[in-house]
Amino acid sequence: MISENDRLEKNSLRSYPKGVDHTLNIIITTIMLAFGSCAVVSAEKPVDFAKEILPLLSDKCFVCHGPDTRKKDLVRLDSFEGATRDLGGYKAIDLKALSDSEIIVRMNDSDDPMPPENAEKQLTDEERKLIERWVKQGGNYAKHWAFVPPKKTSLPSKGHPIDAFVQKQFSEGVDFAVTANNATIARRLALVLTGLPPEPSLLEDFLNDNRVNAYERFVEQLLADPRYGEHQARYWLDAVRYGDTHGLHLDNRRGIYPYRDWVVRALNNNLPIDRFIEWQLAGDLHSKPTTEQLIATGFVRMNPSTAEGGVIPAEFQAKNNFDRTETLGTVFLGMSMLCSRCHTHKYDPITQTEYYQLMAFFNSTSEGPLDGNKYEYAPVIKVPKDQVSWNDWLKLTVERDELLSDAASIFNNVKSSRSDTKKKWSQSDEVARLAMVVDEKKEWKNNALSIYKDAKDLSKRIDNAQKSFTSTMIAKELDKPRDTKLLDRGEYNLPVGDTLRPGVLKVMGGLPEGAPRNRLGLAKWLTSRDQPVVARVLVNRIWQRVFGEGLVRTPEDFGLQGEHPTHPELLDWLAVEFQDSGWDLKHMLRLMVSSQTFRQNSAHRGELNDPENKLFARGPSFRLDAEVLRDIALWASDLLDPHMGGEGVKPYQPTGLWKALSHPASNTKNYKPDTGRMVYRRSLYVYWKRTSPHPMMTLFDAPNRETSCVKRSRTNTPLQSLGLFNEKQRVEIARMFAERLLKERNSDEQRLDLMFNLLVCREPNDQERSACNRLLNAMRKRYVNADQDAKDLLNTGEVPRDKSLNPTEHAAWTQVAATVLASDLALMLF
């Protein structure tokens, strides 16, 4: 007869999954069906290891008993094998006598407790009980949720998939909030998709559209608006830490803004996000990279850089690569790689070796480790300087391709053509071919004079266009890769061990078959179906833009220490949908904004006790980002300049801000504000000096772009109030807004209606109207006998005031406009 113990033994052996590398510090899935019957000693709710226990072990135990444990005889709690290993008479989890497991014994040992008395993190009584329950239930392990590739579970109910998953988590009696009114939704939608309120004509069309699919049509119109790409690009630029300066020491200018413009263009064209990623990581490694693919590799070059006198190149070769590796971690993998730079990660199953293997992908780019304080920190390429030039350039290239094809057919049809010309033609690129048509005119002249003339003309126009080109930093691979070794404690001068091959994190699946071991392979890995994290991380950030908070509230951390998703099945469903759709960003946004979840009224619901809206049982509401605040105001006052792309613009800024901190040799020590229309461009284009970004941006929580930021804080400070009311451009905007109201409408009532319609897509209610009128009348009284004050106010900013307007009226309306623009009506998405 087989004893109970034998049976357990056998089953426990059998329970190891096949194909798992036991030498890895990974947490394996261990299914121990056999224990189900004996382990559940009571009818207690089964403990969810991944959700309840793993974060606890990670936070409080792994610091000594985790992946980083160096002592061989120490208990390891990061894997089932580790926990059940016999350590000379005791086991952390004793499968034969669960209650005697060392975990339970030591947790409750008052003489020699675990965690030790002097440990920084102690367990609460509840946590002890929870761990005890888990051990007694069999001590099952499961893989951390984020490391298991997402799968679509079947929809819990009919209707919109998002609503079905959200509704599933409502407790009984709870339902969605009522749908917000159409005007509110229109504003919310336009702000989410384009970063601006809807144009009045568009809004009116939508509100009067009684046909089916009116909403969908409205969504499509917004998605097709070029301002969509400008707005969505901002989030990406935060994540990749885009800046117009090198960032360190002198913090000089750098040539990189065509990358920013490419991001806008790519998003407007809805470039599939897998290719969006691939071009950025490895556009240069394509066999015949296009200009756009090369510009995109600016991503690789985005790390802050230095040329400080006396720095050691090898040190910055390492530091630049640390930065890239860790940014890759935050942007795509939703985790800091920082810990593993110096030692195997304490919480997440990432070894120090893996960190350096990942880093090896970046270690063979050809730029020098120091930027030389140069604008053209090589390698760079020359490209059109803004969106207009880009469009012109595209037309020229199309024209060129057509001409060359004509030229080729003429030339192929002519028997007299010389064979060496034919050979040369076949070996030449477009540029050389065009030159051939011009230079070797004989071949074409006799046959088609016009072709030769056209080519000459085109070639001249191409030359002219290229004269206005600017440069942008790109990535280029060295012919012979640099050696990468593990650096002890992350010190550049302490390499140890053998040269490492570039490699990816094992816990997130291997390199796809056939993928090269270079940045191209890295990109293929990131976007492969087996990669468990990337699609989730990206989709979570898309959700965060739309709803104000992510499904995972720690978008920067999907690791063991991060927060669990509020709606795990929804997150997974969306991640797979994202992949299934061909990484279609517009599709995902369409999906999200078409849900009832998005269209709910956003008033807080006291009865739900859900201040953070973790249920998503109300619509989003939050203070808008710095750029949006400025853009809304520029737009409402009709000042917004729609010009797309180009060198960063410099709106007004208090004098001396840059000088107070810049090195005397820096070429960004003097802030010279731009003049003319440039001052009124969208905030996306505001010049980003990393050591001192524009104060109206940083006051409202814009990051400095020295490091990756995937979630901005949303703070409220008195300095924001001062900026809203007193900053020169805000004052100019207020008076231009007033000017617009005075010119476009004829009564106070209509003017207030227009103001509110522009900012909140509705007319003011009685209280709002009376408050504004009170201020208006008080200000009329105030300025009627203070002409000079009125004029002083109206002369703020560069745009001249319309002198035909009565200064008292104009000043009074300016004050009202300034106030409404500073109110939450213009500050919030709701």
Partner 1 sequence: MNPLREADLMMTRRQLFGRAALGLGTAALADVFSPNLLGNTSSQVRGTDFAPKAKRVIYLFMSGGPSHHDLWDYKPKMREMFGKDLPEHVRDGQRITGMTSRQKTLPVCPSKYKFTKHENNDRGLWVSELLPYTAKVAKELAVVYSTFTEAINHDPAITYIQTGSQIPGRPSLGAWLSYGLGRLNENLPSYVVMHARSKFPEQSLFGRLWGTGFMPSEHQGVLLRSEGDPVLYLKNPSGVSGKDRRAQLDVLSALNNEQFKQFSDPEILARIKQHEMAYRMQTSVPELMDLSSESDATFELYGEEARKAGSFAACCLNARRLAERGVRNIQIFHRGWDAHGSLPREHESQCKDIDQGCYALIKDLKQRGMLDETLIVWGGEFGRTAYCQGGLTKENYGRDHHPRCFTTWMAGGGIKPGITYGQTDDYAYNIADADGNTIKPTKDNWTPGTMHIHDLNATILNQLGIDHRKLTYRYQGRDFRLTDVHGHVIKDLVT
Binding to partner 1 (CB under 8 A) within 606-645 occurs at 606, 611, 621-623
For residue 676, give both structure tokens. Answer: 């003319």
Q: Which residues pair with 365 in a beta bridge?
A: 477
Least distance (Å) from partner 1 to the CB of residue 746?
A: 23
Of 178, 176, 179, give the one whose Cα is nearest residue 166. Answer: 176
Q: Which is nearer to partner 1, 136 or 346 (CB)?
A: 346
Of the residues 398, 431, 432, 778, which one makes contact with partner 1 according to CB under 8 A = 778
User: Among residues 720, 736, 739, 757, which is the contact residue for partner 1, using CB under 8 A?
Assistant: 720
Residue choice 485, 518, 791, 805 for contact with partner 1 (CB under 8 A): 791
- In the complex, least distance from residue 335 CB atom to partner 1, rounded to whole angstroms: 6
Nearer to partner 1, 474 or 699 (CB): 699
CB contact set of 342 (below 8 Å; sequence gap of 6+):
352, 489, 490
Output the DSSP codes for 287-317.
SS--HHHHHHGGGGG-S-B---TT--HHHHH
Please, what is the Cα angle at 574 between 568 and 578, to 5 degrees?
145
604 in contact with partner 1 (CB under 8 A): yes
Q: Is 487 in the site for partner 1 (CB under 8 A)?
A: no
Which tokens belong to 250?
């002198």
Q: Give, as ranges, the residues between 246 and 285 that touch partner 1 (CB under 8 A).
A: 247-251
With CB under 8 A as the contact rule, the residue among 557, 627, 631, 748 that binds partner 1 is: 557
Query: Does 430 contact partner 1 by CB under 8 A?
Result: no
Window of 163-171, 335-343, 450-458, 744-752 that interacts with partner 1 by CB under 8 A:
335-343
Residue 387 in contact with partner 1, rule: CB under 8 A: no
800 binds partner 1 (CB under 8 A): no
Query: Which of 112, 660, 676, 747 contacts partner 1 by CB under 8 A?
Result: 660
Total of chain residues touching partner 1, rule CB under 8 A: 106
Q: How far is the CB of 255 from partner 1 (least distance, A)?
A: 21
Determine the interface stretch with partner 1 among 195-203, 435-443, 502-510, 559-567 (rule: CB under 8 A): 559-567
One character per residue 674-703, x = contact with partner 1 (rule: CB under 8 A): -----------------xxx-x--xx-x--
Q: In the bound complex, what is the minimum distance in angstroms from residue 455's beta carbon to partner 1?
A: 51
The region of 105-113, 522-530, 552-560, 643-651 touching partner 1 under the rule CB under 8 A is 552-560
Q: Give dist(CA 617, CA 634) in Å, integer.
A: 33
| CA–CA dist 113, 404 (Å, integer) | 81
Does 556 sit near partner 1 (CB under 8 A)? Answer: yes
Closer of 139 and 620 to partner 1 (Cβ):
620
The answer to whether residues 323 and 527 touch, using CB atoms and an 8 Å cutoff, is no
Question: Which listed range, 190-198, 567-575, 741-749, 773-781, lies at the site for partner 1 (CB under 8 A)?
Answer: 773-781
Q: Helix 214-224 vs helix 182-194: angle between axes, to the nearest 10 degrees?
A: 30
**Does 785 contact partner 1 by CB under 8 A?**
no
Write out the binding residues for partner 1, residues 722-761 only, by CB under 8 A. Answer: 722-723, 725-728, 731
Q: Does 305 bind partner 1 (CB under 8 A)?
A: no
Q: Out of 452, 794, 801, 808, which residue is the one contacting partner 1 (CB under 8 A)?
A: 794
Closest approach, Cβ 186 to partner 1, in A, equals 17
Q: Residue 511 Cβ, how far from partner 1 at the closest point, in Å? A: 25
**Binding status of residue 666 toward partner 1 by CB under 8 A:** yes
CA–CA separation, 193 and 230 (whole Å): 10
Cα–Cα distance between 727 and 231 in angstroms, integer?
Answer: 23
**245 phi and psi angles, rounded to 5 deg:** -130, 165
Q: Closer CB to partner 1, residue 183 or residue 771?
A: 771
How would you classify residue 551: left for phi > 0, otherwise alpha for psi between -120 and 50, otherwise beta?
A: alpha
Query: How far apart are the C-alpha atoms of 232 and 268, rounded to whole Å?
Result: 9
Token pair recorded at residue 797: 């900013």
Q: How many CA atoms lie within 13 A of 576 on its CB side?
A: 13
Rule CB under 8 A: is residue 339 a binding residue for partner 1? yes
On the CB side of 816, how many CA atoms lie within 13 Å of its CA?
Answer: 33
Segment lying near partner 1 (by CB under 8 A), choices 127-135, 383-391, 636-644, 649-657: 649-657
Kind and range of the H or E run holding 487: strand 486-487
Q: How far is the CB of 753 from partner 1 (least distance, A)?
A: 15
Sign of CA dihedral 340, 344, 350, 351: positive
742 touches 814 (CB < 8 A)? no
**Of residues 88 and 606, the one with the C-beta less far from partner 1:** 606
124 part of the interface to partner 1, by CB under 8 A? no
Asked whether position 155 contacts partner 1 by CB under 8 A, the answer is: no
Count of H helices and E strands in the chain? Answer: 37, 6
Shortest distance, CB of residue 621 to partner 1, whole angstroms?
6
Which span (200-208, 398-406, 431-439, 788-796) binds partner 1, by CB under 8 A? 788-796
For residue 691, give Cα distances in angstroms to 245, 654, 682, 707: 8, 16, 21, 11
Alpha carbons 672 and 65: distance in angstroms, whole number: 56
End-to-end CA distance of the chain: 70
715 scored as a contact of partner 1 (CB under 8 A):
yes
Taking a C-beta distance cutoff of 8 angstroms, is the pair 780, 808 a contact?
A: yes
Q: Which of 337, 499, 484, 351 is nearest to 23 (CA)?
A: 351
C-beta separation of 586 from 223 below 8 A: yes
The Cα 625–Cα 630 span in angstroms is 9
Q: Which is nearer to partner 1, 93 or 731 (CB)?
A: 731
